[in-house]
A and B are shown apart, each in its own frame.
Chain A
């Protein structure tokens, strides 16, 4: 079965640079969620989208923005990167009527 696709899988950036993470949900899933997981931490919700509209917002810094496109893929844009942004970034998808979320493999961002 098709799963959530994330790219890139690994990304190394310097402080103050920008990064763009991409997420392609499972086919026919219309809702996308972004989570950030720091070392030894549980995943923290950042933001979600349904039908290209922002659905909910969590602890996402103002330096980050995201959007969902007409094909339901989503991009997380991160600017003015800080050392503390180094983490695993997961995208998950679901149907609006479904309760279960399925996670992608994640993007490991390292800020140096």
Chain B
């Protein structure tokens, strides 16, 4: 079992809909949680970071964290075709420590 799991996808949503991406992690010592967007052949781009239980909103993106359930999610409102990419969940234990990535969920937003 991988340390970080994500729903396998691909996830297809119509333009304008809400896309919901999920991630679970096994290391209870994890402190920091990140969502990266990666277009094919490009580098991961930081979308959201979250460190405390609850919701964090930034524009069309909302990250949700529940440490008791070891669960973190990303909601994308008003999905656009340009949001079509692979979304990577990343987790680490402490400052300056490496990330453990999930396998990614491929999102396809259909016009």
Q: Which of B51, B100, B102 has the most CB of A within 10 A?
A: B100
A31 CA to B100 CA, complexed, in Å: 17
Query: Given A43-B88, A100-B34, do A56 and B97 touch, yes or no (CB 8 Å)?
Result: yes
Looking at chain B's contact residues, the main secondary structure is: loop
Contact, CB under 8 Å: A45 / B99: yes
Residue of B with least CB distance to A47: B98
Size category of the binding interface on chain B:
20 to 34
Contact, CB under 8 Å: B43 / A104: yes
A-B contact number at CB 8 A: 57
Q: Mark B20-56, 1 if CB is under 8 A from A, else 0.
A: 0000000000001010100001111110010100000
Q: Which chain B positions have C-beta within 8 A of A103?
A: 36, 43-46
Chain B positions 62-111 with a Cβ under 8 Å from a chain A Cβ: 88, 92, 95-104
Q: Which chain A positions have C-beta within 8 A of B101?
A: 42-44
> Which residues of A come within 8 Å of B, CB atoms?
31, 33, 35, 41-45, 48, 50, 55-56, 58, 88, 90, 94, 96-106, 108
> Which residues of B come within 8 Å of A, CB atoms?
32, 34, 36, 41-46, 49, 51, 88, 92, 95-104
